[in-house]
């Protein structure tokens, strides 16, 4: 039985590469053993999409959610090779700055006493 969400899940397909250079780079990255693991995983998703695999099959390989595959393919369609990386500002911002020091309560003049 297919629900409405499943039809959308299977519709997310990476468009063919804009040029041969982009395709070569993505295929090379997908087969790489060394490099940023998140980029490699995303490139493998794209290559699997080019091979005609469904999003559920693509998601089963790295063990991620189908929605993750959809989002990565959509972003790759929109941004091309640049869509493989993380966007700037991802994650929580650091609370401790270099000017502030390493301890929230220290004044920076003398080390704190042992407890």
Q: Domain locations in the chain? A: 20-84
Q: Which residue has the higher pLDDT, 62 or 102?
A: 62
Please state the φ and ψ torsions of residue 42, each to the nearest 5 degrees: -70, -40
Asked whether 14 and 80 are in contact (CB, 8 A), the reply is no
Q: Which residue has the higher pLDDT, 100 or 115?
A: 115
pLDDT of residue 111: 64
- Distance separating alpha carbons of residues 57 and 49, to the nearest angstrom: 10
In the chain, the percentage of residues whose pLDDT exceeds 90 is 29
- pLDDT, average across residues 97-114: 62
- pLDDT, average across residues 34-45: 90
- pLDDT, average across residues 3-30: 70
């Amino acid at each position: 039985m297919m629900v409405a969400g499943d039809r959308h899940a299977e519709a997310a397909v990476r468009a063919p590469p804009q040029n041969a250079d982009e395709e070569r780079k993505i295929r090379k990255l997908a087969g790489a053993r060394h490099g940023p693991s998140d980029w490699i995983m995303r490139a493998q998703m794209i290559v699997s999409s080019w091979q005609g695999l469904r999003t559920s099959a693509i998601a089963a390989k790295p063990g991620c959610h189908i929605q993750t595959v959809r989002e990565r393919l959509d972003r790759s369609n929109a941004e091309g090779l640049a869509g493989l990386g993380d966007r700037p500002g991802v994650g929580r911002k650091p609370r401790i700055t270099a000017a502030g020091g390493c301890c929230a309560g220290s004044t920076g003049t003398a080390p704190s006493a042992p407890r």
